[in-house]
Amino acid sequence: MIGRLLCICGLLTVTPHLQATVSLELRHLWEDKPLATPSRAFVTRSGETIELSRLAYLLSDLRLLGRGNSTSSGTWLSRNNWFAHVDASRPGGISRLHLGDLPRRTYTVLQFQVGLDQETNEADPSLHPADHPLNPNLNNLHWTPQGGYIFLAMEGHLRNGGNTGGFAYHLGNSWNRTVISLPLSLEFTDPVTIAIDVHLDRLFNGDEPLQIAANPSTHSRKGDGIAQLLKSRLPSAFAIREIRQTHLRARPESPAPGNLIGTPYRFRLARGFPIPKLPTAPPLTNEGVALGKRLFHDPLLSGTSKQSCSSCHQIAHALSDSRRFSEGASGSLGTRNAMPLFNLAWKDSFFWDGRAPSLRVQALQPIQNPIEMHESLPNAIAKLKASNYGPLFQAAFGSAGITKERLGIALEQFLLTRTSYHSRFDQAARGEGGLTDQEKRGFELFMTEYDPRRGLKGADCFHCHGGAFFTDHRFHNNGLRDDDDRGLESVTGRSTDRNRFITPSLRNIALTAPYMHDGRFQTLEAVIEHYDSGLHRSSTLDPNLAKHPPEGLGLGMEDRNALVAFLKTLTDPQFLPAAKTGN
Ligand code: HEC
Ligand code: HEC
């Protein structure tokens, strides 16, 4: 134990020249070579070849020990309420974290924890602001059904011979919170960066190298040996590389918030949903949403003036359609299944391959797409001008001008307000009604890992379809037999992204058949058959599925029926024929 805890104090108020702006930089390494996820291949000391596809973790409780003198042994300065989310998929695998202004002193120890204390871990995650590191929508580390967060998520592939297995290590639960103490000699310059190396090989290659093939997963349940091993090795993985003067870079100007025209829209948040990052330039207004809604239903936006957005995004199908590929205005068929439109405010990329970075960008694409609405933007705008849209644009934007930017913003405003959280499952979760035994069994299977070594034989769906939205909003290859559509790879150009598609929400899934990006499965039974024993093992198959044995999950008929029964509890009655909701 380094240093004694004499006093824990908050940040002192000190005059500016006695303060320094301090940042942390975390760089990830394998045998001293920098690593970013998805990583290249490494050989572990036990001879297994692995690639890391995900490395993310949470830090908390940062303290610095000020140097003592002959009469005192130093004072801890503690950064209250400091949390950080580190993700090695950032450029170069490097995360930069801001510690704020600290008193200029000599510090001898830097300490933080991987993970969270019990109270923070169990607190309601939906209360964190949109940009808080513990907002589940931002870090994707909130854990269902265990509750609390995954403190450290490490996933990857095993590449031994023709084998394409996977591993998924999820360290969580407050008893697995781990203190990292790093000796330091920090003589402040201002501003200063403390650069830390995180040696991942030390987690795998300790005295007894980890046999990954034999231990492909941990979910940190009590008594889990892999979790204990990772926890015990974590402190040795972190080391301070250097302390250097930071070169200040000008911060990008944040866009000026748009003028607020009209009445602010009251965005309703379901209990348990994280706070979304809504646009501020301009903010949502009733007038903007109403204009967007009218445009969404208006066939004028198509080349033939006969097809609207709502032709393919129909209320009865949770704003998707029931066809495998929808037919465009000029009669040609697309190559992808129409996506349902709800809870979009929590997404940060759009389309099956994530190629649109925002809804305002996305919304203009179907209009111009030759196999969809097949209209040019100047034509669409001319038609809107001729049909009395001026006053609606005036009300929403303060002037009657119609531009493509305004068209995109108005459609975005409407799309952002489409939410869905009124299913029977939600009611039951609030204690307002129950689920049948079969539905409960389905939920249990859905939320239980497949880990026969620990006596667990669930359907293991929650890794990707967990949380309030029944999706992690991330891209995975879920083992569909290859087709020409390469998904995320067509956007990033990286072969490690081949056949990765965004995980769809399973809310309203009973209304949105057929399934998958190309609508290849007609029924939920066929989807479950796929996950049970139909996985196609390619090199990018997600580790959470690749870790399953080649013979499959072995789900019996009763379990399959239970899963389907549970999935049907996720239907929101606002989309059912009796509802008059004004979508
Ligand atoms: C011809 C049918 C069709 C029409 C018309 C259509 N869409 Fe779509 N929509 C689709 C398909 C198919 C996809 C998935 C396309 C892909 O991933 O490449 C999609 C995807 C989307 C998405 C992405 C959702 C997500 O979760 O990422 C949004 C948003 C959307 N459409 C909005 C609109 C809007 C707004 C309009 C009208 C301007 C519109 N669509 C018109 C078929 C259509
Ligand atoms: C590794 C992540 C992952 C796991 C685990 C997973 N899924 Fe999926 N799921 C996806 C992705 C990604 C897609 C979309 C794939 C595509 O269309 O190419 C998807 C699609 C689906 C769809 C179709 C949705 C639609 O709108 O078309 C259903 C239904 C589904 N999954 C149910 C399940 C069930 C049930 C389980 C557990 C047995 C499960 N998933 C496990 C990632 C996963």
Q: What distance in Å separates the CA atoms of residue 234 and residue 152, rounded to the nearest whole number?
A: 10
pLDDT band at 331 (very low <50, low <70, confident <90, very high): confident
Cα radius of gyration (the chain):
26
pLDDT classification of 17: cutoffs 50, 70, 90:
low
The model's pLDDT over 418-432, given as tens digits with 9 standing for 90+, comes to 999 999 999 998 899
Tell me, what's the pLDDT at 163?
A: 62
Most confident of 60-69, 180-189, 252-261, 503-512: 503-512
Flag whether pLDDT at 101 surpasses 90: no
**Which pLDDT belongs to residue 105?**
84
pLDDT exceeds 60 at position 368: yes
Alpha carbon distance 145, 510 (integer Å): 22
Distance CA 583, CA 345 (A): 16
A 10 A CB-CB count for 436 gives 12
Contact 494, 513 (CB under 8 A): no
253-287 burial by CB neighbour count: b if 16+ within 10 A, else e? Answer: eeeeeeeebbeebeeeeeeebbbbeebeebbbbbb
Q: What is the pLDDT of residue 258?
A: 47
Mutating to test ligand 2, I would choose from 351, 460, 486, 506 the residue with most ligand atoms within 8 A of its C-beta, which is 506
13 pLDDT tier (thresholds 50, 70, 90): very low
Residue 17 Cα to ligand 2 middle (Å): 55
What is the residue with the minimal CA distance to atom 23 of ligand 1? 351
Task: Calculate mean pLDDT across residues 272-291.
Answer: 92
* CA nearest ligand 2 atom 41, residue: 461
> What is the residue type of 306?
K
Mean pLDDT, all residues of the chain: 90
Distance CA 505, CA 398 (A): 36
So what's the pLDDT on residue 259?
58
| Pocket-testing residue among 336, 469, 478, 506, ligand 2, by greatest number of atoms within 8 A of Cβ | 478
| Dist. CA 488–CA 540, nearest whole Å | 11
Residue 192 has pLDDT above 90, yes or no: no
User: Which ligand gives the minimal distance to the CA of 506?
Assistant: 2
Q: How confident is the model at residue 256 (pLDDT cuts 50, 70, 90)?
A: very low
Q: Shortest CA distance to 402 belongs to which of 375, 381, 388, 379?
A: 381
What is the structure's pLDDT at 491? 95
Nearest to 416 by CA among 346, 318, 509, 367: 346
- Name the residue among 529, 515, 522 with its Cα closest to residue 560: 529
Q: State the ligand closest to the CA atom of 217.
A: 2
pLDDT of residue 4: 30
Residue 9 scores a pLDDT above 70: no
Work out the pLDDT band at 8, boundaries 50, 70, 90.
very low
Q: Is the CB of 364 under 6 A from ligand 1?
A: no
pLDDT of res. 7 = 33
Compute the distance from residue 343 Cα to the ligand 1 centre, in Å. 14
Distances (CA, A) of 112 to 22, 57, 106, 116, 397: 15, 13, 18, 10, 48
Residue 93: pLDDT over 80? yes
Q: Which residues contact 208 (CB under 8 A, 6 or more apart)?
A: none
Interatomic CA distance for residues 110 and 368, integer angstroms: 55
Among 302-311, 324-333, 375-384, where is mean pLDDT lowest? 324-333
Bond prior to 145 in cis (omega within 30° of 0): yes
pLDDT at 260: 56
CA atoms within 13 A on the CB side of 60: 18
> 582 pLDDT exceeds 80?
no
The total of other beta-carbon atoms located within 10 Å of residue 250's CB is: 5
pLDDT surpassing 60 at residue 579: yes
Look at residue 1 and tell me whether its pLDDT is greater than 80. no
Question: Quick one: average pLDDT of 34-44?
Answer: 93
Q: What percent of the chain has pLDDT over 70?
A: 93
User: What is the rounded average pLDDT of the residues 436-464?
Assistant: 93
Ligand 1 atom, smallest distance to 311 CA: 5
The answer to whether the CB of 473 falls within 8 A of the CB of 277 is no
CB-defined site of ligand 2, < 6 Å: 459-461, 463-465, 476, 478, 480, 501, 503-504, 506, 509, 512, 515-517, 524, 527-528, 531, 542, 544-545, 563
Task: Give the confidence band of 255 by pLDDT, cuts at 50, 70, 90.
Answer: very low
Closest CA to 191 of 249, 247, 241, 242: 247
Kindly indicate the confidence band of residue 162, based on its pLDDT and cuts at 50, 70 and 90. low
- Say what the pLDDT of residue 18 is: 77
Q: Measuring from atom 2 of ligand 2, which residue has the nearest CA? A: 464
pLDDT bucket at 2, cuts 50 / 70 / 90 = very low
* Average pLDDT score over residue span 461-465: 94
Among candidates 154, 180, 173, 203, which has minimal Cα distance to 51? 154
Ligand 2 atom closest to 499 (CA): 18
Percentage of the chain with pLDDT > 90? 72
